[in-house]
Amino acid sequence: MFLAGEALGIILGIVALIIVIVIASSFRIVSQANAYVIERLGTYYTTWGTGIHFLTPIFLRIGKKVSLKEQVMDFDPQPVITKDNVTMQIDTVVFFTITDPKAYTYGVDNPIFAIEKLTATTLRNIIGEIELDATLTSRDLINARMREILDIATDPWGIKVNRVELKNILPPKDIRDAMEKQMRAERERRESILRAEGEKRSAILQAEGIKQSSILQAEAKRQVLIEEAEGTKTAAILEAQGEAQAILEVQEAKAKGIELIKKAGADQAVLTIKAYEALAEMSKGQATKIIVPSNIQGLAGLATSLSEIVKEK
């Protein structure tokens, strides 16, 4: 009896330990930016968010662990044909986020594979509507159209397509060689245009410099002529002013002489002598006829007498 009771106690202890282990292992902690899809007896039950949860043994199980972070898928290059029948290789990068864990789990089998195939078919459809040159220069337009189409198509799968990028566009080698030659010719043409523009600009600047120099020289000559004319004019004015001043001084001297004669009380004889002196001055000129007033002739004898008196003295 004692052994049976001891064995029963051991069994109960083991059972209790198993129960504790099972209960302890039934607690689940869901970390940030993750979600657990829970199934009960094979059917969808609920979705666990961030936190601690208790998973009932036997009845409940974790159907799928889903990351809610933005994910990036880099797909291999896909052969596509443009509208002008040029085959090239294009690889794409898709950025997406899972918004509905339930739809992501049960909406489609292997969602990543489905997105890859959907991206390839969508890219072929879009590139088939445009030509090669437009394909190489319209990446933003192609990216926007692909993102819109993929976002609508993946919405039932609980996936939100945030961005689609064309990483590489590889035309055939002969097309690449032709494009390289075209680019080289375009660069050479631009170089020739820039060189011609530079030479033209240089010639214009040189002509402008010569023109400006000629204008400055003409302005300098004109200024010199103006200064010379101003100097000549000033000299003439000063000379005329000097002559006028000399004449004025002579006239003033004569006036002062007459005034002194008047103040000295000169008689008729002195005046007659002065008249003879003026007459002598007049005779030195070029005139052939001299008109002598009658009163001067009457005084001639008086002048002779005076001259004789002076001689005797």
CA distance 112 to 102: 15
Q: What is the pLDDT of residues 140-195, one digit of tens each?
A: 999 999 999 999 999 999 999 999 999 888 888 887 787 778 888 888 888 889 88
Q: How confident is the model at residue 118 (pLDDT cuts 50, 70, 90)?
A: very high
Please indicate, yes or no, whether residues 205 and 221 belong to a single structural domain of this protein.
yes
Please indicate, yes or no, whether residues 95 and 162 belong to a single structural domain of this protein.
yes
On whether residue 287 sits in a domain, the answer given is no
Please indicate, yes or no, whether residues 164 and 201 belong to a single structural domain of this protein.
no
Please indicate, yes or no, whether residues 273 and 221 belong to a single structural domain of this protein.
no
Of the candidate ranges 3-12, 16-25, 165-174, 304-313, the one whose mean pLDDT is the lowest: 304-313
Enumerate the β-bridge partners of residue 39.
Answer: 44, 61
Please indicate, yes or no, whether residues 136 and 197 belong to a single structural domain of this protein.
no
Which residues, 6 or more positions from 68, have their beta carbon under 8 angstroms from its beta carbon? 33, 34, 35, 97, 98, 101
| pTM for this model (two decimals) | 0.55
Q: What is the pLDDT of residues 238-261, one digit of tens each?
A: 888 878 787 877 777 777 766 666
Which CATH number goes with the domain that contains 122?
A: 3.30.479.30
Token representation of residue 304: 């002779």
Which residues, 6 or more positions from 55, have their beta carbon under 8 angstroms from its beta carbon? 26, 27, 28, 38, 61, 62
Please indicate, yes or no, whether residues 110 and 199 belong to a single structural domain of this protein.
no
The boundaries of the domain holding residue 221 are 180-239
Please report, as a single letter, which amino acid is at residue 78.
Answer: Q
Last residue of a domain, one of 150, 171, 192: 171
Continuous segment of H or E residues that includes residue 82: none
Last residue of a domain, one of 171, 190, 224: 171
- Do 83 and 157 touch, CB atoms closer than 8 A? no
Q: What are phi and psi of 68, to 5 degrees?
A: -95, 5
User: What residue spans of the chain are helical by DSSP H?
Assistant: 2-25, 101-106, 111-127, 132-137, 139-154, 173-264, 268-283, 294-298, 300-312
- Residues in the chain, total: 313
Q: Find, among 277, 264, 265, the residue nearest to 303 by Cα.
A: 277
Please indicate, yes or no, whether residues 226 and 267 belong to a single structural domain of this protein.
no
**Chain Cα centroid distance, residue 313:** 113
CA distance 308 to 176: 139
Residue showing tokens 């972070």: 69
Predicted confidence at residue 265, as pLDDT, reads 58
CA distance 64 to 302: 167
Continuous segment of H or E residues that includes residue 74: strand 71-74
Q: Find, among 291, 299, 294, the residue nearest to 270 by Cα.
A: 299
Mean pLDDT of all residues in 124-134: 89
Enumerate the β-bridge partners of residue 80.
Answer: 88
Of the candidate ranges 137-151, 207-221, 243-257, 259-273, the one whose mean pLDDT is the lowest: 259-273
